[in-house]
């Protein structure tokens, strides 16, 4: 693993089946919208050995027309929405600030939990992603300091605290404590 500048990490390892699925899904997304991967998969990507049922993704808000094109592209590539079949209903979930889940047809796990970036922290993550360069593509993740703050100070479950500890162990020399504190304040302000 190697940092390239301040916004890229080259990760040269054998890709897992989950990595391949995430790359496949995000290739579809990036044809239509800016995205960023957040939460548990990020720690898995960097070597944490744990299972996950979903990959959490924020996308920039899309008009109904543009989302329709993305939705049709996902269906054409073999995905289905776990929340609803009707396009209007799927879009209404997103518009109302809820997440929708997509998986390959005939499967439920892993699934991709997609949500419009509504809060400032989510929008900021999309505007300032960290690119992870893999052997077969690039993934965009939220900044590591934001991951740490979100898991430590908002989610706080045992699994999330262990994810944060893993990221801290892997990236200790590259983390900016001031950024972690800034993200903590941003997340706390959003809760009120």
Q: Which two tokens stand for residue 140?
A: 């965009």
CA atoms of 114 and 126, how far apart (whole Å): 13
**Domains along the sequence of the chain with CATH:** 2-187 (3.30.460.40)
Q: What secondary structure does DSSP assign to 20-61, as a single string?
A: HHHHHHHHHHHTT--EEEETHHHHHHTT-----SEEEEEE--
pLDDT at residue 192 tops 80: no
pLDDT tens, residue by residue, 107-137: 999 999 999 999 999 999 999 999 999 999 9
pLDDT reported for residue 65: 97
Residue 128 main-chain phi, psi, to 5 deg: -130, 55
**Bridge partners for 9 per DSSP:** 3, 132
Question: Percentage of the chain surpassing pLDDT 70?
Answer: 100
Strand 2-4 to strand 54-59: parallel, antiparallel, or no bridges (unpaired)?
A: unpaired
Single pTM value for the model: 0.96
pLDDT tens, residue by residue, 8-23: 999 999 999 999 999 9
pLDDT reported for residue 6: 80
pLDDT tens, residue by residue, 18-66: 999 999 999 999 999 999 999 999 999 999 999 999 999 999 999 999 9
Task: Give the length of the chain.
Answer: 192
Strand 8-10 to strand 130-134: parallel, antiparallel, or no bridges (unpaired)?
A: parallel
CB 34 within 8 A of CB 142: no
The pLDDT mean for the chain works out to 96
pLDDT reported for residue 5: 81
Mean pLDDT of 100-109: 97
What confidence category does residue 97 fall into, taking pLDDT thresholds of 50, 70 and 90? very high
Which residue shows structure tokens 């897992």? 16
Distances from the Cα of 17 to the Cαs of 45, 103, 110, 182, in angstroms?
A: 11, 14, 10, 35
């Amino acid at each position: 693993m190697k940092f390239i500048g301040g916004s890229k990490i080259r990760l040269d390892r054998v890709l897992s089946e989950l990595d391949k699925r995430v790359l496949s899904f995000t290739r579809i997304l990036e044809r239509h919208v800016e995205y960023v991967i957040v939460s548990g998969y990020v720690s898995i990507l960097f070597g944490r050995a744990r299972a996950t049922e979903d990959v959490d993704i924020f996308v920039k808000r899309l008009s109904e027309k543009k989302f329709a094109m993305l939705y049709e592209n996902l269906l054409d590539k073999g995905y289905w929405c776990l929340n609803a079949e009707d396009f209007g209903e799927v879009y209404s979930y997103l518009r109302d600030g809820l997440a929708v889940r997509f998986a390959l047809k005939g499967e439920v796990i892993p699934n991709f939990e997609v949500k419009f970036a509504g809060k400032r922290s989510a929008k900021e993550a999309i505007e300032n992603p960290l690119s992870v360069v893999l052997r077969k593509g690039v993934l965009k993740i939220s900044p590591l300091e934001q991951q740490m703050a979100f898991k430590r100070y908002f989610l706080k479950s045992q699994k999330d605290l262990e994810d944060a500890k893993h990221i801290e162990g892997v990236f200790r020399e590259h983390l900016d404590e001031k950024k972690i504190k800034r993200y903590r304040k941003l997340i706390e302000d959003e809760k009120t």
